Chain A
């Protein structure tokens, strides 16, 4: 074993690279500075261990090649690169760990770097207060590969998530995924060539705005799934996004919920409540522009959930003032099955399922549409609670109170 020798050379490298005894090489604004070296795994892991609360860890321009998951667990740390095309952490050689970076500290800022080619997820942020991603890219260079990781930006059970000017390419599940979280802002970001571009799951009070999602299987998903700690996601305001050309064949693992999403979907609301979808450009999605469905076994897509607290219905969602262009031109077989083989398929599809035993006299549980007359709509009556498939807009012509835009 040559640990001792290895450590010596490595420490020497790091000291030279980071900071001389009088600190003359430490860039302004950095408490720790790391440059690429012959042993990026150790230099990065050391820097993350040494990062105390409130410190700024700077990564030089260049390519880092760690071999393991890297964990950041102090609070208030800023991890800053020289730019998402300048500072690249490439995990192609990763041997262990389900994520590239794992962030567990509160109030962490990740800015100006890229994570490439993780075998598993890109950047997971677990159970924190306040996480900011800004100009962070997560990229799998092999497009649509079954070897790509599932999630790119992956905050879970977080309160206060901001994802700004980020980019995710190639995720085998959702590129930008926010799960079981509250107070979320996803803006000015790009997601392409993922299965789902952006997914907000079991989350409450989210804004998804001014993003571009293209060449995914589906552009934006707002989901509520059973069996999770945090339930009853609601109030996701999706506006001013450009959701186009989301026609990539689904390359997710067939065992996953997202694996059943048919290609060609602009936006899908599944069992989520009070979603507002407005002022988006929704174009060239070959199956449907916007769909709102229940987690219902009637559709044959889902098994009856075993979670007694789970509500399968999508309620109080409001779709209005979007611009639709050539959606549904070549619907996937699954969509044809739902729509009675209408081809081209509509801009908007509701499955028409609702909780018959609920009191909706106020109309708050109704899913509403307020779109131009030219927008094509269908209630697929999947749960056979209506009069069969209908394209009549009158029953869904209503409004819900707008969500906060900021």
Chain B
């Protein structure tokens, strides 16, 4: 028999911690979220430490009603390598922090958020590594999990009824299903188009985020004024329909549907800067959609949302059919209506 591996040892270690053992924090990745020191005061208040910067994105990924707090920590003196189009480059030891929370009383405007998980992407010498922390009921601490967790979210809906929603915290390997292309992991939100919007209302500094990053000296070299740089329309905003729809599709689909991504072999690309309509699905015949085609013949049939595979898959909750495949369980009604409106408005010479 072989001697026991590190696997068993780490499990025993995890058992001790999860069951209330009181070891020191050890080396990263820490077992407790608080050990990273991202936040000051009570962890639940998510008050960024001096070296942590909150930000937002123009076109967020739908996550089953979860709200998200987004933060970034650069190493001391570390600079971001800016490019107009993705990907930006980041110095080693950069950490992205994303906290997922739910409004537990949707019948009023009061802040009744419950935080469920916090995900980290840490740039190590092996590339971006993911670590996931699940929050306790008391909202005091979050503990690292590798294998994911099923969480029942109890909430009061807008009509005052008590409801329960299943929310899936992904396992660690699932992170790469969205973040990796050609075996290399990337951050998805922090690109020019997504960050070229105003900072969140509760952020310490107000104004356009790219301009703020410039002022803070976060970029390597000079970056032009944000107004001259590419930007996504906010999908729920009041801008041009085509721009809002393409931004939505980028934020929700392009992590897979782009060359090198998990959906790359289908030939479909939802990068917002893809200019060839056939490549973003217009009159495109699916390659291997299986039941996902739903009897529809093309990904996007201009003027015919009900004849478009894209809309069919966005509305489904069947694991075989639904898009995006991961990790959500619920359809995004807002996104469905936006894409329906967009397909309806596309000029419609019929697909051959």
Contacts and interface: CB of A to CB of B under 8 A. Distances in A.
Interface of A: 1-4, 6-8, 11-12, 14-15, 18-24, 26, 28, 30-32, 41-46, 48-50, 67-73, 94-98, 102, 104, 119-121, 126-127, 146, 149-151, 156-157, 172-173, 177, 179-180, 201, 225-230, 252-257, 303-306
Contacts of A23: 1-5, 8
Interface-central residue, A11, A172, A177, A303, by most chain B CB under 10 Å: A11
Contacts of B271: none
Interface string B42-76: 00000000000000000000000000000000000
Contact of B18 (A11, A45, A226, A306): A11
Given A18-B8, A43-B147, A256-B289, A229 B173 contact: no
Interface stretch (B105-113, B233-241, B261-269): B261-269
Interface of B: 1-5, 7-8, 10-12, 14-15, 18-19, 134-137, 143, 145-152, 166, 168, 171-174, 176-177, 180, 182-183, 259-260, 262, 264-267, 278, 283-297, 309, 318-320, 325-329, 351-352
Given A73-B176, A120-B320, A179 B11 contact: no
B288 A3 contact: no
Contacts of A94: 319
B147 A303 contact: no
Contacts of B2: 23, 26, 28, 30-31
B327 A228 contact: no
28 contacts: A2-B137, A3-B136, A4-B143, A11-B18, A11-B19, A14-B11, A15-B8, A23-B2, A26-B4, A45-B173, A48-B171, A69-B325, A94-B319, A95-B329, A102-B177, A104-B180, A119-B318, A149-B291, A156-B265, A228-B266, A228-B267, A229-B265, A254-B293, A254-B295, A255-B294, A256-B293, A304-B352, A306-B352
Given A119-B320, A227-B267, A73 B180 contact: yes
A226 B287 CA distance: 8
A41 B148 contact: yes
B291 A11 contact: no
A117 B73 CA distance: 44
Given A3-B151, A71-B173, A226-B285, A96 B290 contact: no
B148 A45 contact: yes
Contacts of B329: 95-96
A245 to B, nearest CB: 24
B172 A49 contact: yes
B210 to A, nearest CB: 33
Nearest to B130: A49
Interface-central residue, B173, B183, B284, by most chain A CB under 10 Å: B173
A21 B291 contact: no
Contacts of A126: 262, 265
A303 B295 CA distance: 16
Contacts of A119: 318-320
Interface-central residue, A4, A151, A256, by most chain B CB under 10 Å: A256
A102 B325 CA distance: 12
A105 to B, nearest CB: 8
Given A43-B147, A72-B173, A96-B168, A3 B134 contact: yes
